[in-house]
Structure formats: structure tokens, C-alpha cells
Amino acid sequence: MRRKYTAEFRLKLVKEYLAGQSKKGLAELHGVPRTLLRRWISYYESFGNLGLVSKKTNNYPIELKVLAIECYRYKTLSLKECCIRFNIANDGTLLGWLRKYEQFGIGGLDAKPKGRKPMQEDKKPLSKKEKPLTRLEELERENLYLRAENEVLKKLEALTLKKQAQKRKR
């Protein structure tokens, strides 16, 4: 089960550890995984209070990604040490970069846009003054709309009949 821990809670546990409590005892007492507590302690020792603040979605520059990957690949630093040294949120992030780097090269490390794509704008320029439609044009538009609505209703009826027929077969 994943939980979010506040920066104050993290700092409290780190201070208790630095005051002499054991990692195992603190982890069991507060219901926190030991590896997570170790990570908080390492980040606190490297970056102080800022190391314990939750990081919102980080966009790391490609240069940093490549540097971290090279440090890890050529055994200069361990996975955890790389994350601490380059202030990477967790080791899973670095492993993901490593997989992308091995699969696609440096191009795979580019930040991909996330979320829904923006809607395309209408290509037809909107005129400020639209001339009023004639009675004939209004009737033609209404007729077109009603035909489309009629087709939709026919399709809906056909689908419901098909569904009912399938239920009867069972």
C-alpha cells in the first residue's frame, strides 16, 4: 500500500534516528518501510530539509539523465548513490531512464508531453457579422438536422433489437 508522508513526518523520523534510535525500531513503530526510512536519512544528510520535501513532477534535463546513467553504468556509483547525488526522486526513475537509453539511445530520454492533446482550432475564420439566414436556408438546416437525428434513432433502435435478440439466444 502506497502512502504519502508529510515532510514534517519524514523530518521527525530522521531526527529520531539521528538522536540514536534504530532504523528497524523506528520503521516498525511508525509502519514505514525500512528502505524508505534509509532513503529519507540519505536525502537529509545530502540535501538537508530540502531533501525531505515532496517533489512534484520533475522534468530533469537530458544532460543530467545521461550523466546519472553513465555514473551508474560504469560502476562509479551504486543506484541509490546516483539517485542521492543527482537528487533523483527514486531509483525506479533512474532504472526507467536506463531502460529507455538502452532501447532508444539518447533520443529516448527526451521528455514526452503528457496528458490529453489540445483540441484543434477550427480552420474556418469566424466572421464577426454573420448575415441572417433566409427562411429557406433555415428550413434546409432544420431538415438536415432532423434527417441526421432520424438516422441516429434508427441505428439506436437496430442496436437495441440486436441486443435483445442476443439475450434471447442465451
> pLDDT at position 81, please?
86
For 15-48, write each residue's pLDDT tens digit.
999 999 999 999 999 999 998 899 889 888 888 8
7 pLDDT more than 90: no
What is the overall mean pLDDT for the chain?
Answer: 85
Whole-structure pTM value:
0.51
Q: Which grid coordinates are listed for 97?
A: 531512464
- Per the rule left: phi > 0, alpha: psi between -120 and 50, beta: everything else, 100 is alpha
